[in-house]
Structure 1
Amino acid sequence: MDTRPLRAPAYRRLLLGQGVSFIGFQLTSVAVSAQVYDITRSSLWVGLLGPANLIPLVVFGLWGGAVADAVDRRRLLLTGSLVAWSATLALLLHAWSGLENVFLLLAVVAVQSTGFAITSPVRGAIIPRLVPTERVAAANTLNFLVSSVGTVLGPLLAGVVLAKSGYAMAYLIDVLLFGAGFYAAARLPRLVPLGEIRRPGLRSVIDGLRYIGSQPIVMMSFVVDLIAMAFAMPRALYPGIAAERFGGSAIAFGWLSASLAIGAVVAGLLSGWVGQVRRQGVALVVVVALWGLTVAAAAFARPLWMIVALLAVGGAIDLMSSVWRQTILQTYAPDEMRGRMQGVFMVVVAGGPRLGDLRAGATSSAFGLVPAWAGGGLLCAVLVVAAGLAVPAFRKYDAAAERVRRS
């Protein structure tokens, strides 16, 4: 690993705080999915968590990115964090009450998604202000590695907590772990915007979208991720697979939920070479196609260890894809556009899997678990290759040459 970004104290605190709080966030995500399935016994209802997350992500992600280009990013990060924490507290109170109201759960998840939609683009826009440009790729890799560690530990912890103590304990742990992320945000320096400042609003958002539409390389970085997540993300099917093949085991569900992140952690620990790849466009097309094929193969595996292993390979591939996409955005766009670019990035990165949840849940109800799982992965591989072939500028993108040109 390239650990040089850790020499910057503000970045180091932000990374560690985010890592601790993200364990709780993932614990809650798994617990909510399990609770919805426990109440309804339906993968379709689990899939509906997708749009409950997606609508606030789109609205407040784009708005939050525009605001991040116009205000102190530290203050905005603190505000969004408090919104997300309040939603987790509401989940805890709901679990304690014993209401088992799925509509209330969906509403609270939407509020939590609003907080996440505000904070995520701010964090992405902050990184190039905390570390030198040549270390942005390494900082992104460390970010994704720490997030992946949380995505491993959170679901595995969820499997144990749900089996032993129930939903309320899961949400209580998240409420407590949140403090680490809030402390790190509070210790950041003031981060006022650079360059031209536009009043945040619809016009500012439209300017950001217009910029994306005029830059094929930026546009394709979003398109390949949407294809990967909307068509191949299988996580809404985990509760159904755990029930159908493993007797509803909470431990099996925890391992399935952690599998992608396990691979991402391993890839992150061996990631020193990732930031050295110059042809990041063609590399993205290749790895997203491999992601789809790996996910499809996992649908046909029967032993739990084999499903987890195949999904872990997919998670390793996804980490590489995430680093290259994020680095393209952070180094290609000017600082006064970074908040909006990160807002759109967050909408795509977080919204794509929610679309995938809805697609997986709906197709599973119509065609069954295995066709929904495998068919999405195969379709992903076909579509990303077709999209890559259609945009030569993206295939030819050279990160090192672009950095030299802009300097």
Structure 2
Amino acid sequence: MTQDPQTSSDASGAPASSRRGLSRHLVDIAPLKASPAFARLWIGGAISGVGAFMTTVAVGLQIYEITESTFAVGLVGGIALVPMIAAGLWGGVLADVFDRRKVVIASSLASWASILALVVLAFWEQHLQGLGTHAPVWPFYLVTTVNAITSTVSNATRGSVVGRILPADMLSRATALNGISFGAMVTVGPALAGVLAASIGLPWTFAIDAVLFTAGFLGIWMLPSLPRLGERVEAGWPVLKEGLTFLRRSPNIRMSFIVDAIAMTFGRPYALFPALGALVVGGGALTVGALTAAGAIGTMLTSLFSGRIAHVHRHGIAISRAIQVFGAFAVLFGVFTWVGMHSGHAAGEGWGGTDFSTLALMALAMAGMGASDELSAIFRQTMIIQAAPDEMRGRLQGVFIVVVTGGPRLGDMYAGALAAVTALWFPPLLGGFVIIALIVILTRAQRAWREYDATSPTP
């Protein structure tokens, strides 16, 4: 029965009448007030995440500068994929067996070391450029792979922490808040990377990431002790197998991974951005930062106006529809890229050589992709935490991180390789249609997914 909005209370316990009009649609910050540990983790993660996305963009620019190859940029993710999958699976095991605070501290320190190694490599490349040559590209692949491994373990553990430091009725709102921080990371980080790379150079861009990392580390260091609940077990294959068996018997959680992997594999044009900035739109590093930031703005807007998400219970249907919209915007990005390639504009460095009309259309498509992807992410992450017992959350978060980070790496390889043999506009155009078709087929085939209800969550 529908409650009277004038007398009912929302999930945080506040009267519905206190959140009238526009405020009802804005993000709910109750989780930050309810848990100081979550607030510190959230703030620190947002600041360090800005640096992480700076480095993601800067690595692509660095490798494109050395190789002038979109395929080589795409290989950054492809080479790290298999080690990262292993790290996600075993990182989830570590999070379910040991104190989660200790696991995330150790993995974060290793990530920090890999960022410092990138600083050294970038200064080496800068020195060799002055001598008229380039550094070999393989050390950059090696260090970014190490960073992907350690970050995967850290992120899987952080994801499993949230369910321990917040009550269950605040999980969807916490996920929406994470979307805001993620949007800020991807908006500010790439934009800063573009500006810094064009002004002070790539080595100092990596160095600033190393400094920003300290904020995230402080948020982790101040977490309470989070030992395993229940009986003590030894980390090893039986624990991993138990998690995989649980996933095999959990059609809804498994489906959430599958649909996201499809979207990220076929709908990510990020590996194309350096070439678009150099050959199509113009603007170089500034265009790369602008396009990446546009996707993040869409992400942030979805989270900012997420006040009503607690009222949505059919999460399976919501996720499917959001991903289909994501595919439609990917198609538009391909169309706009084709328009830019046939506009007759001569691409040049800096804003003076930029085709702003095409850039605006591409940015609009990226904002739509970011918004729809974030809506899907809110419901997927909430489903995993609500439907799984705490002793399984680390392993499931490990798989989740593998999907959300491995899918984009497959997507980078797909976009880079297909663009190399066709054209820059073709990968997102084809990929968008593939996403829409596959999601329609899978949703119709999986009845449990269509009927999933968050009021009685089942894995």
TM range (shorter): over 0.9
Which position in structure 1 is the counterpart of 2:385? 330
Q: The residue matched to 1:362 in structure 2 has which SS?
A: helix
- 1:62 and 2:89 correspond: yes
Which position in structure 2 is the counterpart of 1:15? 42
Which position in structure 2 is the counterpart of 1:347? 402
Cα distance in 2 for partners of 1:36, 1:23 equals: 20
Q: Deviations over 1:310-336 (max 9, x none)?
A: 110110111110011011100101000
Cα distance in 1 for partners of 2:183, 2:136 equals: 31
Q: Deviations over 1:254-295 (max 9, x none)?
A: 111222111001111111112321000011111101101111
Which position in structure 2 is the counterpart of 1:185? 220
Is the 8 Å Cα contact of residues 196 and 336 (structure 1) preserved in structure 2?
no
Q: 2:120 aligns with which of 93, 101, 107?
A: 93
1:160 partner letter:
V
Q: Deviations over 1:117-153 (max 9, x none)?
A: 1101111100011111000111111112101211110
Cα distance in 2 for partners of 1:197, 1:126 equals: 18
Is the 8 Å Cα contact of residues 156 and 255 (structure 1) preserved in structure 2?
yes
Cα distance in 1 for partners of 2:207, 2:55 equals: 9
Q: Deviations over 1:344-367 (max 9, x none)?
A: 000001110001001111111111
Is the 8 Å Cα contact of residues 83 and 114 (structure 1) preserved in structure 2?
no
Q: 1:365 aligns with which of 420, 431, 447?
A: 420
Cα distance in 2 for partners of 1:243, 1:2 equals: 41
Give 1:62 deviation, angstroms: 0.6
Which position in structure 1 is the counterpart of 2:31? 5
Q: 1:144 aligns with which of 179, 193, 206?
A: 179
Cα distance in 1 for partners of 2:180, 2:229 equals: 29
Q: With structure 2 as the length reference, what TM-score do the two structures score?
A: 0.86
- 1:399 and 2:451 correspond: no
Greater shift after overlay, 218-227 or 273-282?
273-282
Q: The residue matched to 2:455 in structure 1 has which SS?
A: helix
Structural mapping, 1:185-334, within 5 Å: 185-301=220-336, 302=340, 303-334=358-389
Greater shift after overlay, 202-211 or 240-249?
240-249
Cα distance in 1 for partners of 2:192, 2:117 equals: 21
Q: Deviations over 1:380-400 (max 9, x none)?
A: 111111111111100110111
Cα distance in 2 for partners of 1:247, 1:18 equals: 33
Cα distance in 1 for partners of 2:37, 2:382 equals: 20
Cα distance in 2 for partners of 1:141, 1:101 equals: 41
Is the 8 Å Cα contact of residues 52 and 109 (structure 1) preserved in structure 2?
no
Is the 8 Å Cα contact of residues 92 and 394 (structure 2) preserved in structure 1?
yes
Is the 8 Å Cα contact of residues 195 and 335 (structure 1) preserved in structure 2?
no
Q: The residue matched to 2:313 in structure 1 has which SS?
A: coil
Q: The residue matched to 2:234 in structure 1 has which SS?
A: coil
1:76 partner letter:
V
1:330 partner letter:
I
Cα distance in 1 for partners of 2:321, 2:174 equals: 23
Cα distance in 2 for partners of 1:209, 1:127 equals: 21
Structural mapping, 1:165-184, within 5 Å: 165-184=200-219
Give 1:182 deviation, angstroms: 0.6
Give 1:373 deviation, angstroms: 1.9
Is the 8 Å Cα contact of residues 330 and 338 (structure 1) preserved in structure 2?
yes
2:420 partner letter:
S
Which position in structure 1 is the counterpart of 2:197? 162
Q: 1:374 aligns with which of 429, 444, 451?
A: 429
2:117 partner letter:
A
Higher helix share: 1
Q: Deviations over 1:146-202 (max 9, x none)?
A: 012111100000110011011111101000000001111110110011124432222
Q: The residue matched to 1:233 in structure 2 has which SS?
A: coil
Cα distance in 2 for partners of 1:345, 1:255 equals: 28
Paired residues, what number? 404
Structure 2 residue runs without a partner (length 5+) = 1-26, 129-134, 341-357
Cα distance in 2 for partners of 1:367, 1:327 equals: 39
Identity of counterpart residues, as a percentage? Answer: 38
Give 1:52 deviation, angstroms: 2.6
Cα distance in 2 for partners of 1:57, 1:5 equals: 31
Cα distance in 2 for partners of 1:144, 1:339 equals: 20
Structure 1 residue runs without a partner (length 5+) = none
Q: Deviations over 1:58-109 (max 9, x none)?
A: 0111101001001110011100101111110000001111253211100000
Which position in structure 2 is the counterpart of 1:387? 442
- 1:75 and 2:130 correspond: no
